[in-house]
Chain A
């Protein structure tokens, strides 16, 4: 229950962050860059989408899926074991993709984006929570 609450909290933070980025992109406004000055270099790079879907939209879908599945697990909607496996796959997959995007910022684009790093940290934290939950059980 506690781990579900934490994963939900992190998913909600992710939703608000990606909604912010999508709004800024649609309104053609520059997002605030609290740390560093190269957010736009990353957000407007050729790596800002996977196939034809923008990364911020993919991120939003990921966080919505995580929060919904967490809610299903808390309320106890069946099939619980399938939802449990889906959330694990989502978070493990998301962590891997976040490692890839962080590598792109570090080595390829050579610029850091605050929002991308925050999103990556959020997903890694979700992964750590999942890991700790697995160890405690």
Chain B
């Protein structure tokens, strides 16, 4: 992947993750509506607390993407996070957008994997 393309993708993901985190912090209750009822039953904490945690995770992932530090780890966490979001929110009109974000996060993770990990997977 071209180095410039990688950085454009990284910064775009950073902005998306931090901004979503900020929007969730602003009004966590309204984001609770995206959760499937079965997922709410599984939560060990209240929906608001779970969403506040999600917001902080989103912002932390975004900051790692933004400062280009442990970017592969941020990509890994972002991918895992989006898989969980896809699972607990079900298939909706905006699922396709999450799939786009998931692919972008996976691309950034794979591109930034440390050499020892890349060589491990090539074995």
Contacts and interface: CB of A to CB of B under 8 A. Distances in A.
A74 B67 contact: no
A28 to B, nearest CB: 18
Given A8-B15, A8-B19, A16 B26 contact: no
A69 B64 CA distance: 20
A75 B56 CA distance: 14
Interface residues of A, number: 15
Contacts of B19: 5, 8-9
Interface of A: 5, 8-9, 12-13, 15-16, 19-20, 23, 34, 71, 74-76
A116 B4 CA distance: 18
B22 interface: yes
Contact of A12 (B7, B11, B25, B26): B11
B22 A71 contact: yes
Contacts of A20: 68
21 contacts: A8-B18, A9-B15, A12-B14, A12-B15, A12-B66, A13-B15, A15-B67, A16-B7, A16-B11, A16-B66, A16-B68, A19-B66, A19-B67, A19-B68, A20-B68, A23-B68, A34-B4, A74-B26, A75-B22, A75-B26, A76-B26
What is the size category of the interface that chain B forms with chain A?
10 to 19
Given A9-B19, A16-B10, 5 more contacts: A8-B22, A15-B67, A16-B68, A19-B68, A74-B22
A15 B10 CA distance: 13
Contacts of B22: 8, 71, 74-75
